[in-house]
Amino acid sequence: MTPFSVLGLISALALVALAIAMGGHVGAFLDIPSVLIVIGGTLAVVLISFTPADLASTAALAGQALGHGPQAFGGLAKHLLELAQKARANGLLALQAQAAKEAHPFLRQALFLAIDGAPADAVEKILTQDTASLLERQERGLGLLRRAAEVAPAMGLIGTLIGLVQMLGQLSTPEAIGPAMAVAILTTFYGAVLAYMVFTPLAAKLEQMSGDDLLMRKLMLAATLSMLKQENPRGLELTLNSLLPPTQRVKVFK
């Protein structure tokens, strides 16, 4: 996780825990039937719309999203311009050793395609399809998280109705009213916590990561195609700056 993700998660949970502790009845907020209704019910409903493989993939994506921090797009642009300058001066084969050391698999793949002499149209098609596949997986994970965020409060409402029915059916037994009311109230609480403190923030983080991944790949693709076409790196700088946010635009050439 990034420090901001950790801080946000801990702060949100701490505020809820503090509010509960100040009431002096912590045990009253623990109810197994309510947990089963909300968590189990949400999982079951989500699996109606998605597959177990989608669930596993989304869990992995959510973990990546939590670890996703601010991206230094300007630094990447400068690195790409350095590669372009080297390729223009010494040819694409001069990048072979450096390409093998690239940390990002997309850039590594792009450089090797260019070094191997693939036509620019073929490189663009392959890399664009690879990006589309990634975005499709991320969009499916985003849809699953959003669906879970919709379902969790609904399961809380269902639990509330169950608890109310149980309570109304036992009005003649005062000692049974309390447990039934606990299920009624706590399922709504659990559903709201899951939806608005877990699933919705995870969906927002995944959406941010997806946008950053797309921009990063656009920069890498633009640089690779420019090198393949043997364009002047000065022109590449203009292209990259047109893609970059204003605060991260670079100035390499005077």
Give the HSE-up count for residue 4: Cα atoms under 13 Å, Cβ half-sphere: 6
The tokens for 128 are: 């664009």
- Asked if pLDDT for residue 192 goes beyond 80, the answer is yes
- Do 116 and 228 contact (CB within 8 A), yes or no? no
Name residue 50's amino acid. F
CA dist 98 and 199 (Å) reads 40
**pLDDT score at 3:** 61
pTM: 0.85
Taking residue 168's Cβ as centre, other Cβ atoms within 10 Å add up to: 10
What is the mean pLDDT of the segment spanning 67-85? 91
Cα–Cα dist 249/246, whole Å:
6
Domain membership of residue 9 as a residue range: 1-30
Is residue 127 located within the same domain as residue 77? yes
Q: Are residues 7 and 63 in the same domain?
A: no
Same domain, 24 and 54: no
- Is 131 found in the same domain as 87? yes
Give dist(CA 129, CA 119) in Å, integer. Answer: 16
Whether residue 17 is found in the same domain as residue 38: no
**Whether 11 and 48 share a structural domain:** no
- Among 50, 25, 33, residue whose Cα is nearest residue 156: 33
Q: Are residues 133 and 225 in the same domain?
A: yes
The Cα 105–Cα 158 span in angstroms is 46
- Give the Cα-Cα-Cα angle 71, 211, 233 (nearest 5 degrees): 65
* Number of independent structural domains in the chain: 2
Same domain, 118 and 43: yes
Q: Are residues 84 and 25 in the same domain?
A: no
| Domain co-membership, 81 together with 138 | yes
pLDDT band at 212 (very low <50, low <70, confident <90, very high): very high
Does one domain contain both 10 and 35?
Answer: no
Q: Which of 151, 157, 140 is nearest to 199 (CA)?
A: 151
pLDDT, averaged across the chain? 88
Place of tokens 């109230």: 185
**All residues at 6 or more sequence positions from 245 whose CB lies less than 8 Å from its CB, including other chains:** 73
Task: Give pLDDT tens digits for 1-22.
Answer: 556 676 777 787 788 778 877 8
Same domain, 86 and 17: no
Structural tokens at position 207: 């959406």
For residue 1, what are the contacts with CB-CB under 8 A and spacing of at least 6? 9, 66, 67
pLDDT tens-digit profile of 109-141?
999 999 998 999 999 999 999 999 999 999 999
Q: What is the pLDDT of residue 238?
A: 94
